[in-house]
A and B are shown apart, each in its own frame.
Chain A
């Protein structure tokens, strides 16, 4: 069995009467990239804050890197990097000043600090921005700086809270390349996101909805375990067809994607395309194709709600 970086048992966090997260249990392997997928307000940030010791759980047990949290949170701070959802570096300092500040806060030695700064500036493509005041930089640049600062002290465990929410797709891809590099070097990464494509890159994934964990596995396993087949239908009059299909017990759900309708049919129907054709004569001239499930389908299946 591989070593665990995070072990959480039935953690709940209440703010007054309101339950933000409930009965979350996690096992996160060292060296893996673990994703929290869920819509805004589902409790991703609250879970991360609880795991880092910033919030103390109302109930439940947490062990991170072998330390009991929140009791040993002070010791944990040397070992983790945290990129907050809202940009939390100093906007009125330059890139290099921010990096050095964080380095000094972790009390790196003078020589080490210098080297580490150079390294980070180079790794995250910030060399030419070194003396730039942060407030004038783009979302992607700020995010690279955020990651550079969070990894300045080479943490064993990295928490990233929606790191790419203010970033265009291209920069997002580059960002993930950096994450894979870090993971390769042995860093455990926990990343919260509401992007499906991002979640799909994680080694393992927890799908969250209104404070609860709905599913937790590798993306492939999640897709395989869904218990539905998927058929895409291309035909006119999709709105009416959708309503009609949704009434069927065999249909888990149907969602329109542009000119196509994506229908999730329970695996009790062995040949879904035939089943559709025989039950819905209006599909005679339609294009039907059975497709591979995506994470989006998993998400829809476990939460009962769709998201773009």
Chain B
């Protein structure tokens, strides 16, 4: 009971300080915004007019209609034409094109049977490209006479990824960004949380009061969970508004997943805060966390392609688990129970981390 009063008091104090600290407050909003716009810009240039090949073995009115609809998305433009799928595959291998659309001879039949109509062959090593083409997979194609037979529940295209058939490297940029931005801000906020009190001289008073280390740690984390959730809303909302990024997974799962990750990142920052002596040191240590979180978590490079050592390091970072989790939720429609391994890991990391931070935080000046 008394613990609760103390935790509440510290939380309230943190929130007040946060709301009066313009710079930090701006950071909460500006970092997601700027990152999103920068990355979003990159997405946009990538997905416009990718030169691809075409093999049309059907040569019917409808197959041409399909080609036109694909062109109309402006995602790809057909620059090369091949006679057979084998030739197209060769062209992908030589690097002449990055992807090819293969319309089979039995196209009309497939259309009538409501099966997948055609096949995309994609150079899977370009993860942004694969993600984009995968996005076309369910492109609606409703030729005039079939209007009654709606909706076309199946896929319009089969997509075959070469070189990386497991598709795991396919980036869904915005969920990935969620991980990167949250790592940046969450770790940073708490990493300076205790050092700042030390530097400003508040700590000497605070540790002479009955506050327990555990109370202090918990109270330092909770306000920033709300900040983190606010950022999740900004990123997903703006991603949707500005770049029409589809949000496929369940929103509740996305939020719960983010919550686990936010808590884990905040804890990580807190541990840093008990190690660092000055705010500068805390920032430097934070960078040591942010860099591998961007590079090794699977955001930039596919996890499976990394050397074992890098994988081990990655496995320790909350960001890696979050990337895996959020992609599972967003791409495969999985939930936290399916992803129990990562959920459990993040939850345990948080609890263990808070205990470690509380243990490390000594109520003395020695």
A residues apposed to B, CB below 8 Å: 49, 52-56, 70, 73-74, 77-78, 80, 82, 84, 86-93, 97, 100-102, 104-107, 133
B363 within 8 Å of A by Cβ? yes
A54-B207, A104-B5 given; A89·B202 CB < 8 A: yes
B21 within 8 Å of A (CB atoms): yes
For residue B13, which residues in chain A have a CB less than 8 angstroms away from its CB?
90, 93, 97, 101
As a 0/1 sequence over residues 8 to 20 of chain B, the CB contacts with chain A under 8 angstroms (1 = contact) are: 1110110011001
Q: Is the CB of B365 within 8 A of A97?
A: no
User: What is the bound-complex CA distance between A42 and B13, given in angstroms?
Assistant: 36
Distance between B48 CB and nearest chain A CB, rounded to angstroms: 48
Q: Are B364 and A54 in contact (CB under 8 A)?
A: yes
* B202 interface neighbour in A49, A82, A90, A107, Cβ under 8 Å: A90
Task: Give which listed residue, A52, A55, A88, A104, contacts B8 with CB less than 8 A.
Answer: A104
Binding stretch for chain A, among B39-47, B172-180, B208-216: B208-216
Residues on B with beta carbons closer than 8 Å to the beta carbon of A101: 9, 12-13
User: B68 an interface residue at 8 Å Cβ cutoff?
Assistant: no
B364-A102 in contact (CB<8A) = no
Q: Count of chain B residues with Cβ under 8 Å from any Cβ of A?
A: 29
Whole-angstrom distance between the alpha carbons of A77 and B12 in the complex?
Answer: 22
Q: For the complex, give the distance between the alpha carbons of A53 and B205 in Å.
A: 12
Most chain A CB within 10 A, of B5, B202, B206, B208, is at B208
Residue of A nearest to B7 (CB): A104
Is A73 touching B17 in the complex (CB atoms < 8 A)? no
Write the nearest CB–CB distance from B109 to chain A, whole angstroms: 72
Q: Which of A70, A90, A105 counts the most chain B CB atoms within 10 A? A: A105
Task: Report whether A74 and B210 are in contact in the complex, using a CB–CB cutoff of 8 Å.
Answer: yes
Shortest Cβ distance from residue B189 to the other chain A in the assembled complex, whole angstroms: 16
Q: Which residues of B contact A133 (CB under 8 A)?
A: 20
| Given A89-B202, A104-B6; A78-B210 close (CB under 8 Å) | yes
Pick the contact of B364: A53, A78, A92, A106 (CB < 8 A): A53
Complex CA gap A179/B21 in Å reads 35
Smallest distance from the beta carbon of A25 to chain B beta carbons, Å? Answer: 22
Nearest CB on A from B204, distance (A): 5
A272 to B199, CA, bound (A): 55
Check if B209 sits within 8 Å of A77, measured CB to CB.
yes
CB proximity to A under 8 Å, residues B204-235? 204-211
Shortest distance between the CB of A53 and any CB in chain B (Å): 7
Residues of chain A contacted by B95 (CB below 8 angstroms): none
4 cross-chain pairs, A with B, having the tightest CB-CB distances, nearest first: A104-B9, A88-B205, A107-B2, A86-B201
**Contact mask B182-208 → A, CB, 8 Å, 1/0?**
000000000000000000111111111
Contact with A along B338-366 (1 / 0, CB 8 A): 00000000000000000000000001111
Docked-complex contact A88 and B209, CB < 8 angstroms: no
Residues of chain B in range 51-89 having any CB-CB distance to chain A below 8 Å: none
Contact A82 B208 (CB under 8 A): yes
Query: Which residues from A are CB-within-8-Å of B363?
Result: 73-74
Give the distance in Å from the alpha carbon of A70 to the alpha carbon of B364 in the complex: 10
* Across-interface contacts of B6 in A (CB, < 8 A): 104-105, 107
> With A and B bound together, what is the CA distance between A133 and B20 in angstroms?
11
Give the interface centre of B203, B204, B366 by most chain A CB atoms within 10 Å.
B204
- A-side contacts of B205, CB under 8 Å: 82, 84, 88-89
